[in-house]
Structure 1
Amino acid sequence: MTEPTPRKATLTSSLQKLIRSFGYAFKGIGYAIATQLNFRLHLVAMLAAVMLGFALHISANEWQWIMLCITLVLVAELFNTAIETLTDLASPGYNEKAGRIKDLAAGAVVITALFALINGLIIFLPKFLKLMHHVV
């Protein structure tokens, strides 16, 4: 009869696996930053939105919408990159269906980015107009 694995060893092993999984996740984000121009552009837009949010003193509710938009766009870009990479692996040569898959993934990013843009306009435009009114 085998002895049960000590709880401490199992906990340590689980913690190591968890830490390793975060390492893989950050490696994936690093890959997207290093290789995907659109991901970097979205990061710049994120920084602009955050700076505007602080400068215009947006509410907690507005911050939640901004953070939701940022998260959705970045996640969509990561999924798009993953789908494109997997498609290239499965179909290295030209394939009409592979191209369609890539187009669909890119379309999801565009829809998400438009959602973010519209939300940004809803939140920031009235504040800009109010600021311009006070300046003039």
Structure 2
Amino acid sequence: MTPSSHSTPSALNGRDRGFWAGRWFSMRAALNGAQHTVRTQPNAWIEVFALIFVAVAALYFRVSALEWGVLAFTIFIVLALECVNTAVEAVVDLVSPTYHPVAAVAKDAAAGGLVFAVLGSLCVGAAIFGPRLWNLLA
């Protein structure tokens, strides 16, 4: 039986496709999720703009390889949490189409996790760019 002839859920998620075909299936699904988040979430647009702004600033200030690594990790953690927040909101909306206080807690907690990441990213930016900006303005 071919994977397309299965009607089980595993046929739909790539498990019966073979190792490499399954990895490719999973990668495409993940990229679709990332694309959906960037396309539909206004906060993701701000985060992508921040990524571009930070990259330009890092090039201008010639940050070290270690600083590039910290900046990239920080930026992509924020974007990853934006995807997680989008997923939590979608699932909560699916299972609780009307207002429920517990559903609100789930959505608010997911957004709160993102707030922590953004605050952390601001700290990273201040640590890396603060002294350089101070020297530039002094």
Q: TM-score, normalised by structure 2?
A: 0.84
Calculate percent identity across the aligned residue pairs. Answer: 31
Instruction: Report 1:42-53 matches (<5 A).
Output: 42-53=47-58
| Aligned equivalent of 1:3 | none
- C-alpha distance in 2 between matches for 1:119 and 1:14: 39
What are the superposed Cα offsets for residues 50-87 of structure 1, whole Å, 9 maximum, x if unpaired?
11101100111211211121121011111100101000
* Root-mean-square deviation over aligned CA pairs: 1.2
| Aligned equivalent of 1:103 | 108
- Specify every segment of 5 or more residues in structure 2 that has no aligned partner in the other structure, as ranges: 1-16
Equivalent position amino acid for 1:105 in 2: A
Within the candidate set 127, 132, 135, 2:137 is matched to 132
| Aligned equivalent of 1:8 | none
Structure with the greater alpha carbon radius of gyration = 1
Between the two structures, name the one with larger relative contact order (CA 8 Å, sep ≥ 6): 1
- C-alpha distance in 2 between matches for 1:19 and 1:103: 33
- C-alpha distance in 1 between matches for 2:78 and 2:19: 31
- C-alpha distance in 2 between matches for 1:30 and 1:60: 28
Equivalent position amino acid for 2:27 in 1: F
- Equivalent position SS for 1:123: helix
Q: TM-score, normalised by structure 1?
A: 0.85
Instruction: Tell me by how many angstroms 1:14 deviates.
Output: 2.0
What are the superposed Cα offsets for residues 95-129 of structure 1, whole Å, 9 maximum, x if unpaired?
01101110000000000000001110111011011
Moved over 3 A (4+): none
- C-alpha distance in 1 between matches for 2:110 and 2:104: 10
- C-alpha distance in 1 between matches for 2:77 and 2:37: 15
- Specify every segment of 5 or more residues in structure 1 that has no aligned partner in the other structure, as ranges: 1-11
- C-alpha distance in 2 between matches for 1:95 and 1:54: 47
- Equivalent position SS for 1:94: coil
